[in-house]
Amino acid sequence: MAVLLVALAACGGSSAQRQRPPAVQNKQLNVDGLNRSYRLFAPLTLERDQPTPLLLVLHGVGDSGEGMVGATQLDGVASREDFIVAYPDGINQTWNGGYCCLGRAKTGPDDVAFLARVINDVQAEHNVDPARVFVVGVSAGAIMAYRLGCELAGRINGVASVAGAMVLDACQPTKAVSVIEIHGTADRLVPSAGGRTAGGATQPSPPTSAVVGRWAELNRCPSPPANGTEGLVTTLTWTGCSGGTAVKLITVEGGGHTWFGPGFGAVDGAIDATGAIVEFFGLRPKPRQP
């Protein structure tokens, strides 16, 4: 009998191990009659009883979730620091972020509902920490990330925008949301000074400084912000904001419309957007064990 029990236990453990999902999954959801997709990366080293941060990473116009894997290198960071990354795909390779980039905030696909479903879907399979759900985007994906910060603040704790803008008629988040914006002064598609935004926007976008200043107001941040300059990079940082949130603007002199990192754009290596975002969200490298 003892031998039989040991054998059964061994089989049960093996079965449980086989049932653990692979690190990379290509997932499908049906939202409002539309087939939607996203790529999920969850390190196999995650401890099931440990609540885990989740990052949603949103691509720009003409790109895909898969394309953001290579641009951001977040899979490797997530493997080292134990967090989950979801890379959703927009309809027609863009997002309904307001009056850009489909220009149909009310009649276009409900991307807010889709991305909320993505969060639900990941939570159904993994132990996601609801206090550490963040959304990261570039270009149109950053525009969509701002919309989530405004309309899904109950589920989102931080927004990271690279080369983005907030193009909504109104923003009334239900709670404070941390925000970081990384923007180049030579961005011609989403100008840092505001104005016409590429991608089918029906109205001009506000200046980047106004967007970040608006979030500082929404989060009731004390003024003035701390500022600093290093090489081509200037930062403005508001801390001590409502609910322990923070707001940060990183401006890259001469930077264009790009994800900032080694090998990207004219200011190659001036700043690593992935590293700056991971640090801002508190997903810092774990200390080495002695």
Has residue 173 got a pLDDT over 70?
Answer: yes
Question: What are the residues facing 35 on neighbouring strands?
Answer: 30
Is 3.40.50.1820 the CATH number for 20-280?
yes
Phi, psi (deg, nearest 5) at residue 105? -60, -35
Name the least confident of 1-10, 198-207, 226-235: 1-10
Quick: pLDDT tens for 244-262. Answer: 999 999 999 999 999 998 8
User: What distance in Å separates the CA atoms of residue 290 and residue 286, rounded to the nearest whole number?
Assistant: 12
Q: Where are the domains of the chain?
A: 20-280
Is residue 190 packed enough to be buried (19+ CB in 10 Å), middle (13-18) or exposed (0-12)?
buried
Has residue 17 got a pLDDT over 60?
Answer: no
Quick: pLDDT tens for 71-123. Answer: 999 999 999 999 999 999 999 899 999 887 776 666 778 999 999 999 999 99
User: What distance in Å separates the CA atoms of residue 171 and residue 289, rounded to the nearest whole number?
Assistant: 44
pTM score above 0.85: yes
